[in-house]
Amino acid sequence: MEEHIMIDLHGIIKRFYVGKPNELEILHGIDLQVKKGEFVSIVGASGSGKSTLMNIIGVLDRPTQGSYMLDGMDVAKARDNELSNIRNKKIGFVFQTYNLISRTSALKNVELHMLYGKIERKRRRERACELLEMVGMKERMSHKPDELSGGQKQRVAIARAMANDPSIILADEPTGALDSATGRLIMDLFHKLNKEQGKTIVLITHSNELAEETQRIITLKDGMITGEREGLVECW
């Protein structure tokens, strides 16, 4: 049976200030395919174009040129409401800076993400509790972000990313602000989501050590893919 391609990028170019004297091309023709259920890392130094590429994969931005098929849908032809639906339901985002709402409890932070999905209140609360328990935050669900450590915040952020049961998780430097022991816990969570729930995960990182834990490592340099190799995911 043919493997299902979840993310399919061809000839992706991204320019800023198009048509102006200071026009800047960040991505120079990216070809990338990610299969359903794969755990892939995109590695590169600061300024290599990683975040720009993630924004395109996550339909937070559109490419200047090239084609992007996401789970069989042509992103270029999608209307704004369809793109919003993709961001809300198909993709879960995990950022280095957590992006939690500061004056709101961990439980509410996860619940709020389900409001757009028209899930009734009782079920929202049940699901938020289940997810916080899954990431080991059951005892801290009433705490606000400023009462949590960096690792605890990131676990809440992962629970929130999972709120609408997305098929893809995009993680942008998710351990970048954490110490190595806490980062280990976060990576273990991603492995669990990939293995036990079959989530397709794209990890953006500058760390070759973390990248080695994924099935496939894509190296990005100066806006171009310069290499691709297998990781050591069998160890996990």
pLDDT in tens, the chain (236 residues): 457 999 999 999 999 999 899 999 999 999 999 999 999 999 999 899 999 999 999 999 999 999 999 999 999 999 999 999 899 889 999 998 999 999 999 999 999 888 876 788 899 999 999 999 999 999 999 999 999 999 999 999 999 999 999 999 999 999 988 888 888 999 999 999 999 999 999 999 988 889 999 999 999 999 999 999 998 765 44
Q: Using N-to-C axis directions, what is the helix angle for 121-134 and 150-161, rounded to 10°?
A: 130
Distance between CA atoms of 69 and 7, rounded to whole angstroms? 6
Q: What is the pLDDT of residue 120?
A: 87
Tokens of 234: 């069998």
User: What are the strands of the beta sheet with 168-172, ordered from one edge?
Assistant: 91-95, 168-172, 200-205, 39-43, 216-221, 224-230
Global pTM reads 0.92
pLDDT, residue 233, reads 61
- 3-state class (DSSP) for residue 222: coil
Integer Cα distance of 190 and 15 in angstroms: 32
| Cα three-residue angle 186-184-192, rounded to 5 degrees | 50
Give counts: helices (H), strands (E), the chain: 7, 10
* Phi, psi (rounded to 5 degrees) for 187: -65, -40
Q: How far apart are CA 169 and CA 95, in angstroms?
A: 11
Is the CB of residue 140 less than 8 Å from the CB of residue 153? no
| DSSP class of 113 | T
* Token pair belonging to 230: 């297998």
**Are 135 and 14 in contact, with CB atoms under 8 Å apart?**
no
